[in-house]
Amino acid sequence: MTAEQVVFVLAAVVTLGSALGMVTTRSVFVGALWMIAVFGGVAALFILLGAGFLGIVQILVYIGAIAVLILFAIMLTPRVMGDPNAPRYNRQWPLVAVMASALASLLVALVLRTDWPLAQEGAPTITGFAVELGKGFMTTYILPFEVASVLLLVALIGAIVIAREE
């Protein structure tokens, strides 16, 4: 068991554990916190995979923006959250649980069965990847970049218009 594997197992355990925690907690706020933990775990996995830039972006965007937003949303809708003993699941949760676990097993089976065309090159260089990514965005993948920017703009305007209090 190399160091890397140890770290991987650790990160995986953290992510999956907090994911389970998120799903099972009674109050949504705590669920949100567990979700943040999951984002942290995923960021760790990214860094482990050598995508340092992406890890930090993950932290910055998911934890810094989305999680905060969700927390805000939860706090702005207090009344329902008020009573902790409200049942947190709808009626169909046993069925869904079965389906989710079936899905998980199927996916895992799928993963194990297909032989992935592994690349033979050496380890990726952790540093300097941000520059290539930036270049990539600006040259070959200019269209997705522009589309994403337009999407963000539209989402921004949309959210403001919908959520604005008259």
Partner 1 sequence: MSSVPLSWYLIVAALLFSIGAYGALARRNAIGILMGIELMLNAVNINLVAFWRYIEVTGLAGQLFAVIVITVAAAEAAVALALILAIYRTRDTVNVEEIDLLKW
Partner 2 sequence: METLLSLTPLVPLFPLLAFLAIVLVLNPNKRLSAAVAIGAVGLSWLLGWAIFFSSIGAGLGEQPFVVELPWMPTGRRLFVMSVMLDPLGAIMLFMVPFVALLIFIYSVGYHNLGQPNVEPRFSRFFAYISLFAAGMLALVVSGNMLLFFIAWEIMGLCSYLLIGFWFYKPSAANAAKKAFLTTRVGDVLLFVGLVLLYSFTGSLNLYEVLSPENIEFMKESSISVAGLFTLPALPTIALLIFGGAVGKSAQFPLHVWLPDAMEGPTPVSAMIHAATMVAAGVFLVARMLPLFEPIEGSWWLGVVALIGAFTAVFAASIAVAQNDIKRVLAYSTISQLGYMIAALGIGGFIAGVFHMLTHAFFKALLFLGSGSVIHGMEHGVHHVEEHGHGEGHGHVDPQDMWNMGNLRRHMPTTFWTYVVGAFALAGVPLVTAGFWSKDEILAEAFEKWTHKGVVSIPFVVWLLLTVGAALTAFYMGRQLGLVFGGRERTEAARHAHESPRSMTVPLMILALFAIGFGWVNIPKNVPLVGNGWLYTFLAETHINVLHEPYEKVPFVFSVAAFSSILALGGLALGWWLYRDVTGDATVSPFERDPVARAFARIPLVGRPLWLLLENKYYVDEIYGVLVVRPVLALSAFLNSFDDRWIIDPLVDGVGKAARGLSAVGRWIDTYIVDGIVNYIGYILDELARGLRLIQTGRLPNYLAILVAGVLALVGLMLR
Partner 3 sequence: MEALDRIFIRIGEAFSTFLAQYLPAPVVTVIGMFLSAIIISTFAALTFMLLTWLERKFVGRMQDRIGPNRVGPFGLLQPIADAIKMFTKELITPAGAHKVVYNLAPILVVAPSLMIFAVIPFGRDMVAADLDVGVLYLIALSSATEVAILMAGWASRNKFSLLGAMRAVAQMLSYEVPLVLILLTLVLMAGSMRLTDLVAVQGVPFAFLQPVAFVIFIVAAAAELNRTPFDIPEAESELVAGYHTEYGGMKFGLFMMAEFIAAFGMAALVTTVFLGGWRPWLIPLPSWLWFLIKTYLVLFVFIWFRGTFPRLRIDQLQAFCWKFLVPVTLLNVIVTGVVVTFVPLVRNGEVVVRGIGGWATVTVVYFAVNVVFALVVAWLYRRPTLQAVQQIQVGQPAGRGLSREVQTA
Residues that bind partner 3 (CB under 8 A): 3, 27, 29-30, 33, 36, 52-53, 56-57, 59-60, 63-65, 67-68, 71-72, 75, 127-131
According to DSSP, residue 63 is labeled I
Q: Which is nearer to partner 3, 19 or 56 (CB)?
A: 56
Q: Which is nearer to partner 2, 114 or 120 (CB)?
A: 114
Q: Which parts of 100-129 interact with partner 2 (CB under 8 A)?
A: 100, 102-103, 106-107, 109-110, 113
- Options 104, 131, 138, 142; binder of partner 1; rule CB under 8 A: 104
Q: Which does 63 bind (CB under 5 to 8 A by kind): partner 1, partner 2, partner 3, none?
A: partner 3
Q: Which does 150 bind (CB under 5 to 8 A by kind): partner 3, partner 2, partner 1, none?
A: none
Q: Is 122 in the site for partner 1 (CB under 8 A)?
A: yes
Tokens coding 46? 């990214």
CB-based contacts of 59: which residues, under 8 Å, 6+ apart? 39, 40, 43
The residue whose two tokens read 């703009």 is 153
Tokens coding 86? 């409200």
Q: Which parts of 65-94 interact with partner 1 (CB under 8 A)?
A: 65-66, 69-70, 72-74, 76-77, 79-81, 86-90, 92-93
Element of type H or E holding 57: helix 52-58
Tell me the C-alpha distance between 68 and 71, whole Å: 5
CB-based contacts of 45: which residues, under 8 Å, 6+ apart? 8, 11, 12, 15
